[in-house]
Amino acid sequence: MIAIKGLTKEYKNVTALRDLTMTIAQGDIFGYIGPNGAGKTTTIKILATLVKPTSGHAEICNYNILTQPDDVKRVIGYMPDFFGVYDDMKVWEYLDFFGAAYKIEKTKRRKIIDDVLELTDLGEKRNDFVEALSRGMKQRLCLAKTLVHDPQVLLLDEPASGLDPRARIEMRELLKELRNLGKTVLISSHILTELSDFCNTIGILEKGELLAAGEVSAIMDQIKGARIVEITLRQADDAPRAHDLLIAHPEVTAVEIDGADLQVEVPITCDDVSFINEALTTSGIRITSFRESEIDLEDIFMKITKGAVQ
Ligand SMILES: Nc1ncnc2c1ncn2[C@@H]1O[C@H](COP(=O)(O)OP(=O)(O)OP(=O)(O)O)[C@@H](O)[C@H]1O
Ligand SMILES: [Mg+2]
């Protein structure tokens, strides 16, 4: 659906993007993750045909971004990281304006506007002025705008930035709906956890270089890491005995004690940790809590950007 080959962008004294090659399949929700200045916006603007690469090329729905920009524009919906102010324009007029720009017939536009307003939960605001909307609503309106021409591919540059926690959740719900509609989505963020529960693939970019890309689970496999199980014992007195018992187990690589709390480390390849529970209870050591500390995308990101990847 999106095929990027050797994309490089040089500005006067920075290489914003270095030889980027990756593909995004139809129906993928691809999380494009990287810290400030990594080159996310540069990539997205190149794909949206707004910036020309120094070298390399890309295709979206088999259209070449360099030679067929008009076709590309038709199949993509681009949501920029900042959007302009439209004074004296009502919500529906704003959407109608973009619908007209995409040459959608006037009679069809009405229904489309109703649909996108409903999807983005802005139906009640249709006659409000754009400038009077809250930031979260403006952001949703901006997303509504990118949907007017029913594009197959969405390029969303940090759609949840600057939103409060509640508005972020609403934006996330909205993005899930787009996934359910079968859209292919490239969404950037520097906050990994924001993307973790609805992206199936991710790419991690730093200083213009793609450090890792692929299925979230495959990227986790690349990481030399450990699973940590956190246990609280009923009695702190049992901790030394629990330590000795567990450290003797072949699957356990480390045990740390802090009062009645134990942190037990096992290799990332160990997929069943119930033996820890069993070893303790059969020795008469009582447990009040047993939980695994989750390895989340944030951890993956920290490890990969610290060069811990194989
Ligand atoms: N028009 C420009 N002229 C010169 N340098 C630029 C230009 N646009 C971007 N850059 C540089 O390219 C690099 C990548 O910037 P880019 O905006 O793509 O990063 P980003 O990953 O989107 O960052 P952020 O998370 O802050 O949005 C940065 O070093 C930036 O300073
Ligand atoms: Mg950016």
- Which residues have any ligand 1 atom within 6 Å of their CB? 11, 14, 16, 34, 36-42, 81, 190
- Cα-to-centroid distance, 16 and ligand 1 (Å): 6
Q: Residue 194: inside a domain, yes or no?
A: yes
Q: Residue 305: inside a domain, yes or no?
A: no
pLDDT of residue 231: 95
Q: Residue 300: inside a domain, yes or no?
A: no
> Which of 196, 221, 246 represents a domain boundary (last residue)?
221
Predicted confidence (pLDDT) per residue in 144-154, tens digit: 999 999 999 99
- Domains in the chain, number: 2
Distance CA 202, CA 212 (A): 8
**CATH code of the domain covering residue 280:** 3.30.70.100
pLDDT of residue 168: 82
Residue 276: which domain range? 226-294
pLDDT of residue 222: 65
- Cα-to-centroid distance, 41 and ligand 2 (Å): 4
pTM above 0.85, yes or no: no
Q: Residue 184: inside a domain, yes or no?
A: yes
Same domain, 270 and 127: no
Predicted confidence (pLDDT) per residue in 173-229, tens digit: 888 888 888 999 999 988 766 676 678 899 989 899 998 899 887 776 666 567 789
- Cα-to-centroid distance, 124 and ligand 2 (Å): 31
Same domain, 119 and 169: yes
pLDDT of residue 149: 94
Those residues with Cβ within 8 angstroms of residue 74's Cβ, 6 or more apart along the chain or in another chain: 102, 149, 151
Q: Which residue has the higher pLDDT, 82 or 10?
A: 10
Same domain, 165 and 239: no
* DSSP 8-state assignment for residue 238: G
Same domain, 84 and 105: yes
pLDDT of 300 higher than 70? no
Distance CA 216, CA 41 (A): 22
pLDDT of 158 higher than 70? yes
Distance CA 49, CA 51 (A): 6
Same domain, 22 and 96: yes
pLDDT of 37 higher than 50? yes
The type of residue at 278 is: E
Q: Residue 142: inside a domain, yes or no?
A: yes
Same domain, 278 and 196: no
Predicted confidence (pLDDT) per residue in 112-139, tens digit: 999 999 988 899 999 999 999 988 889 8
**CATH code of the domain covering residue 153:** 3.40.50.300
Same domain, 138 and 164: yes
Q: What is the mean pLDDT of residues 155-177?
A: 85
Rounded percentage of the chain residues whose pLDDT exceeds 90? 62
